[in-house]
Amino acid sequence: MSTDTAPPRSTEAAGSPGPVPVSPLSLWAGDVATVTWRNLIKFRRNPEILLFAVLQPIMFVLLFSQVYGGSIQIEGGNYTDYLMAGIFGQTVLFGSTFSGYQMAQDLKEGMIDRFRTLPMHDSAVLFGRTNADLVLNGVSVVIMMISGAVVGWRFHEGWLSFLAGVGILLLFSYAFSWVMALLGIIVRTPEVINNASFMILFPLTFISNAFVQTDNLPRALEVFANWNPISALVQAVRELFGNTGAAPTPDTFPMQNPILTTVAMSLLMLAVFVPLAVNRFRQASSR
């Protein structure tokens, strides 16, 4: 029965010459940068990840603008202009689910165990994940804008407003990445994450103003759509790009104040899900 009566700390002597003392914050930032770099390498070596992120929205752009474009009338505008904000919203929403898929995958494959035996900051794994997915989403949005431009989409409110629109898309996608990352840690099965998010997010984007004006929807769905956070995001982007057309904006708070709603909603998601995910991550370890 030996109690640990203060053994001399011979432990620090081991290993290579100790690193120069650095501030905890820069150590943390270094960890985040390393993990982000690791995740980006995976994107670079597997271009199909990006391909799958944009393939479906590109198909949507073509189908909606070419098939429905003629029959859907947008007062004081054209349908292609109107459609693209919805496509951008859909792209970043689905793009963010990758954070959950990849967290589950890393847990499953034992990468998380590796990270957790290293003297790095736990939260760096999550920040590295969401940062890399933000880059992926950024690239996807650019590709979608090019696709939109090809079928005739244009923004009309000037560059500053355009950049604000891009910023709001990315802010939302980053915040939503954290929600998905937490789900990935809890669910732990990449395939389940994929299927479940598809089943929830698909109707969510359709019962919104992403592809149609909500006043065309049945009453119950119209109410839902006008309060749907996806609608707020799409409306905000639509306003900033000058793609709303002349139809009156539905009379709900999120629709009347879409930019405020989207920014507030994104910040709220970050405030809740960053600490929640980090905390949950500390308890997680592959079985």
Least gap, CB of 157 to other proteins (angstroms): 40
Closer residue to other proteins (CB): 6 or 160: 6
Closer residue to other proteins (CB): 2 or 71: 2
The secondary structure of 88-155 as a DSSP string is HHHHHHHHHHHHHHHHHHHHHHTHHHHHHTSSS-HHHHHHHHHHHHHHHHHHHHHHHHHHHHHTT---
Least gap, CB of 273 to other proteins (angstroms): 24
List interacting residues with other proteins (CB under 8 A).
1-2, 4, 7-11, 14-16, 19-20, 22, 27, 30-31, 34-35, 37-38, 41-42, 45-46, 109-111, 113-120, 285
Least gap, CB of 103 to other proteins (angstroms): 14
Closer residue to other proteins (CB): 5 or 71: 5
Say if residues 194 and 101 touch (Cβ distance below 8 Å).
Answer: yes
Residue 245 has a CB neighbour count (10 Å cut-off) of 16
SS3 176: helix
Q: CA 202 to CA 200: how far, in whole Å?
A: 6
Closer residue to other proteins (CB): 10 or 71: 10
Least gap, CB of 98 to other proteins (angstroms): 14
Structure tokens given for 252: 């709900």
